[in-house]
Structure 1
Amino acid sequence: MTKLISALNENLQVVYRKAIDADAALDQLGRDGKGKFNTIFGDESPFITRSKRFKAYVEEVAGDVAGIAEQNQQAQNTELKSSNTIDHSQKQVLSIIVKKLELLLTTLEQFKSSLKAK
């Protein structure tokens, strides 16, 4: 489980850098009078956050990863299970985290491509 959490954190670092760049581009579009929308992801997305900027969504996923890392650490401390054991609820949370990361990466790449096309 520790290796999985490390991999998620590495992916978060990549997404964070892309989000910062995308948010800067969104800021510029806003100054140019473009990019008028309410949120990046709608109600059908797995995100709880509703924002006009990517960084807020990255922070939500980072909180999810931190939560599962903390649960894993507590489990190790109480010696209830080894760090390689993943229970059903953790699988569900991990599945949501992966979906969020995938959605973020896909959307960031699409946004980057749309900027290059202009």
Structure 2
Amino acid sequence: MSPYKSIRIREEEDTLVVCVGSYLNSLLGEEVEKAVRARLDDGGRRILLNFHGTRLVNSIGISFVIGVVEKVMEQEGRMAFCEVSRINRDLFRVTGLEKYVRSFETEKEALDYLAGNV
């Protein structure tokens, strides 16, 4: 059973898929960061954040996302986002995240990219 209460995590081949949830705030951001850090510590290098149903990302939530991106980059991993709403896509653009992380319409497209199939 997953130790995470608000996020859903699963493995897809060698990629950790983190389904973020409806409101990315400090509590949820901390759970996302812990899940990603644990995966990186175990040697995993491919991370997908699925934002399906994520209606709002507050300022603290975006800081956690930035921190996660930095950790993945430090470990020379690959990361992608998928199913990002228009408002959150705009937020990622304003914060500069889109320069470092590709965003995809569907989870399948993102998983194919992370697996090197694109």
* Larger relative contact order (CA 8 Å, sep ≥ 6): 1
Identify, as 1 or 2, the structure richer in strand. Answer: 2
Identify, as 1 or 2, the structure richer in helix. Answer: 1
Q: Would you say same fold, with TM above 0.5?
A: no
- TM-score normalised by length of structure 2: 0.25
Larger radius of gyration: 1
- TM-score normalised by length of structure 1: 0.25
